[in-house]
Amino acid sequence: MSAASPRKSRSARIIQAAALTVVFGVLLLATRVAPEGSVVGPLAALGFLLLAGTLTSELIELAGLPQLTGFILAGVVSGPYVLQLIDKPTLERVAPANALALALIALAGGLELKLETLKQVWRSIAWANGLQAALGLVTSTLGFMAIARYTPFGEHELGPLFAVALLWAVVAITRSPAALLGILSQTRAKGPLATYSLAFVMSSDVVVILLSAIAVALVRPLLEPGAEMSLADLGVLGHELIGSAALGVTLGLVLSAYLRLIGGNLLLVLIALGVGLSELLRYIQFDALLAFLVAGFVVSNFSSQGEKLLHGIESAGSVVFVVFFALAGAKLDLVTLAKLWPVALSLCALRFATTFGAAKLTSALAKDEPVIRRWGWSSMISQAGLSLGLATLLVRTFPALGEPFRALAIAAIAINEIIGPVLFKLALDRSGESQPTGTEPHDEHGDPAQAS
C-alpha cells in the first residue's frame, strides 16, 4: 500500500462520518417538525436503514468489528427506543423485506452446502449436533430452574416451571444462519472452519425444528391442565419437515430448469419467490428456511446452475444483509433489555459456557483438525430471527407463557445477536481464513509471513 492510501482512507472515513451525521440529523429534524412525529414511510425507512447501515458498518470496521455490528447499531439508534426515527408500525409494514432476506440467506446457505463438503465433515457435524443439543437442553433447563426466582416465573410450581425451562432450553440451542452467512459474505472466508461452521449451523436448524415439536408434546400436559401428551404434534412435525423438504426439492428443480433455459431477470424472480413463496409457506405452515435451504442444495449439487444462482444472490446480498440486520437492530427492545439484563446475561453466560465446552468435547471425539478444535464454537453463539420466531411461536402455542417469556427471550437474543458475529469474525481472522481485499491470508496465530 502506498503512502497516499492511508491518507485517502482517512479522508474517506471523515466523509462517511460527516454523511452519516447529516443523514441522521436531517431525518431527526424532519421527524421532530412533522405534526405526527414521523414522516418515514416503509420505503423511506428501508432506504434510510440501507444508507445508515452501510455508512455505520464502514466506520465500525476501523475498530475491527464485523459489518453486521454496524448494521445492527444503525438500526438500534434509529429505532423506536432511541431516536425514534422509525416507529413500530413502520417496522411492521416492512416485514416482507425480512421474508425476502431470509429466503435469499437460506438459498445461499443451501448453495454453499456441497455433497463433497458434507462427506468431509459429516462425522464432526453428527457429534456436534448431538452433543450441542443434548448438553444445551440439560444445562439450559437446569440453569433456568436454578435462577427461576429472579425471573417472572419464580412463583410457578415445579411441573409448570420445568415446562417453561425446557421450552427456554429449546430457544437457547438455536443458532443464526443469517449471522453466519453475513460474516462469511463479508470476509469471503474459505477453509475448514468456514466449511464446518456452515454445515453445522444449517443442519442444526433441522435439529431445532425436530426438538421443538417434541418439547411441545412433552410439556403440554404440564402447562395446560387436563391436556394429555399427544402424538399429534409429532405428526404435524413430520408433515412440516417432509412437506418443506419436498417443496424445496421441487423449487430447486424449477430454478435449475429456469436458469438453464431462460436465466434472465433473475433478481426479479428471486424477489417474487422470496416474498410471495415465503408468505405461502407460512400460510400452509411449512418451514420457509428449510424449503429454501433444500432448494439451494438441489441446485448446487444436482445441476450445473449453482454458480449462476449464487452470483445472482450475491448481487443483491449486500442490500439484503444491511436491511435484515438493521431491521433486527431497530426491533431490539432496549426497555425490556434494561429490565431483564441481569437474568438474560446469566442465561447467555451459561449458554456460552455450554456451547464452548460441548464444542471442545465434540472436537476431541470427532478428532477434528486443530483450527476447528480451537475455533469451532465461534459460529454457534449468534442468535437472530430464527430464535425470536421460535420464541414467538411457543408463546402463541402456550398463551400461559405470556409476554414475560417472549420479553426474556428478546433480551437474551439481543445479547447473543451483538456478541456472536464479533466472535465469529475474530475466529475467522485469527485462523487465517478471512480474505479481505488487498491483504494476505494469516496463519492460525495471525502471522502473514507464516501463512506465506
Contact indicator for 281, 275 with CB cutoff of 8 Å:
no
What distance separates the 2 farthest-apart alpha carbons in the chain? Answer: 76
At residue 439, the pLDDT reads: 45
**Dihedral-angle region of residue 202 (phi above 0 means left; psi in -120 to 50 means alpha; beta otherwise):** alpha
- Each of the 452 residues of the chain gets a pLDDT tens digit; together they read 333 334 446 677 778 788 778 777 777 776 666 655 445 567 777 788 888 888 888 888 777 778 778 888 888 888 888 888 888 888 878 777 777 777 887 788 788 778 887 787 888 999 999 999 999 999 999 999 999 988 888 888 888 999 999 999 999 999 988 788 888 877 888 889 998 998 898 888 778 877 887 888 888 888 877 666 666 666 666 777 788 889 899 999 999 999 888 877 787 888 888 878 877 877 777 777 778 888 998 999 998 888 888 888 877 666 777 887 888 788 777 877 788 889 999 999 999 999 999 999 999 999 899 999 999 999 999 987 678 778 877 888 888 887 788 888 888 988 898 899 999 999 999 999 987 544 444 444 444 333 33
At residue 317, the pLDDT reads: 62
Distance, CA of 323 to CA of 46 (rounded, Å):
7
At residue 128, the pLDDT reads: 93
Distance, CA of 415 to CA of 408 (rounded, Å):
11
At residue 193, the pLDDT reads: 92
At residue 163, the pLDDT reads: 92
- Cell readout for 169 is 432450553
Distance, CA of 309 to CA of 299 (rounded, Å):
8
Contact indicator for 309, 296 with CB cutoff of 8 Å:
yes
Question: What are the C-alpha distances in Å from 298 to residues 105, 309, 410, 434?
Answer: 15, 12, 34, 27
Nearest to 272 by CA among 131, 100, 102: 100
Determine if the pTM surpasses 0.95. Answer: no
Half-sphere exposure of 121 (CA within 13 A, CB side): 25
At residue 23, the pLDDT reads: 76
Contact indicator for 354, 363 with CB cutoff of 8 Å:
no
Distance, CA of 121 to CA of 129 (rounded, Å):
12
Question: What are the C-alpha distances in Å from 304 to residues 110, 114, 115, 297?
Answer: 14, 13, 14, 12
**How confident is the model over 282-332, as pLDDT tens digits?**
777 777 777 888 899 899 999 888 888 888 887 766 677 788 788 878 877
